[in-house]
């Protein structure tokens, strides 16, 4: 992790007129999305997340860390559904967005039900990054840094591990060999299938709500991005996407990952 440079009086940021400034050393040559990680970088990635999950949750830490959950993600889905139903498509991109959404409406509703049904099985009590995809990994020869800790929260390890187990942003760079290297750095872990399905479905719903909302709204976003957002929306709803993986049946038994 790239820690902030402390101020002259030892703080992690300076503050003036209600604004905060934090300075972090420049690290890494590229994002992990640009070609993936090498063997040593994957092991270090695993070690970084293992150290994060092992942090003791002191009263001071619990007082400042939010508790991760699904409420905001489901609110985003409902807002997007309302937008698509209330407004006629303004152009072909918006029409394509609505068409994709309606084609998958039953699956989206089933994923919402899955999240709500699994929520009682999830007790957030572990410090997690909550968004450790390869776009938030900076890499240089033999080293890596995990950045963008602004969404850190109390959650369960599956919330972070799903970004290595498949179906997420940057998954094209993650195969069985990369997972083996990662867990050599992370160490043995028992993955709870209910918690994994819960976080996959919740994150998958948040992603499609974001993409559909921006693709459907001309004027607010450039057409180049909107057209890309439609393609990403379709990709997220494919059989290898997070929502589909969350909806796959499982036998309810935890699986153990060992190096």
pLDDT digits (tens, 9 = 90+) for 216-231: 999 878 999 999 999 9
| Confidence at residue 5, expressed as pLDDT on a 0 to 100 scale | 86
Tokens coding 44: 């270090």
Report the 10 Å Cβ neighbour count for 63: 7
| Residue 217 burial class via C-beta count within 10 angstroms: exposed 0-12, middle 13-18, buried 19 and up | middle
Which tens digits make up the pLDDT trace of 178-225?
999 999 999 999 999 999 999 999 999 999 999 999 999 998 789 999
CATH superfamily for domain 14-257: Transferase(Phosphotransferase) domain 1 (1.10.510.10)
Phi first, then psi, for residue 44 (nearest 5°) are -70, -40
**Domain range annotation of the chain:** 14-257
Contact indicator for 167, 242 with CB cutoff of 8 Å: yes
Tokens coding 15: 């503050």
| Confidence at residue 232, expressed as pLDDT on a 0 to 100 scale | 94
Q: How far is CA 129 from the centre of its chain?
A: 9
Contact indicator for 129, 50 with CB cutoff of 8 Å: no
Residues 155-184: what's their mean pLDDT?
A: 93
Cα maximum dimension of the chain = 57
**What CA–CA distances, in Å, run from 186 to 51, 82, 127?**
8, 42, 15
Give the pTM: 0.89
Residue carrying structure tokens 């591990």: 161
Contact indicator for 202, 169 with CB cutoff of 8 Å: no
Tokens coding 23: 């300075």
């Amino acid at each position: 992790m790239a820690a902030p440079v402390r101020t002259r009086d030892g703080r992690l940021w300076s503050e003036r007129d209600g604004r905060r400034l934090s300075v972090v050393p420049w690290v890494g040559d590229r994002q992990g999305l640009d070609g993936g990680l090498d063997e040593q970088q994957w092991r270090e990635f695993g070690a970084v997340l293992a150290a994060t999950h092992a942090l003791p949750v002191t009263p001071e830490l619990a007082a400042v860390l939010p508790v991760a959950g699904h409420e905001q993600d489901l609110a985003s889905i409902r807002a997007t559904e309302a937008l698509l139903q209330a407004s006629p498509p303004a152009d072909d991109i918006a029409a394509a967005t609505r068409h994709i959404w309606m084609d998958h409406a039953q699956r989206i509703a089933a994923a919402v039900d899955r999240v709500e049904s699994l929520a009682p099985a999830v007790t957030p009590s572990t410090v997690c990054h909550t968004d450790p995809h390869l776009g938030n990994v900076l890499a240089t020869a033999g080293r890596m840094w995990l950045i963008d800790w602004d969404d850190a929260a109390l959650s369960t390890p599956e919330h972070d591990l799903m970004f290595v187990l498949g179906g997420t942003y940057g998954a094209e760079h993650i195969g069985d060999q990369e997972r083996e290297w990662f867990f050599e750095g992370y160490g043995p872990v028992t993955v709870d299938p209910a918690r994994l399905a819960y976080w996959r479905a919740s994150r998958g719903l948040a992603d499609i709500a974001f993409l559909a909302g921006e693709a459907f709204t001309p004027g607010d976003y450039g057409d180049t991005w909107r057209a890309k957002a439609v393609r990403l929306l379709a990709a997220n709803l494919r059989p290898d996407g997070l929502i589909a993986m969350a909806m796959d049946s499982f036998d309810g038994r935890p699986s153990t990952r060992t190096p």
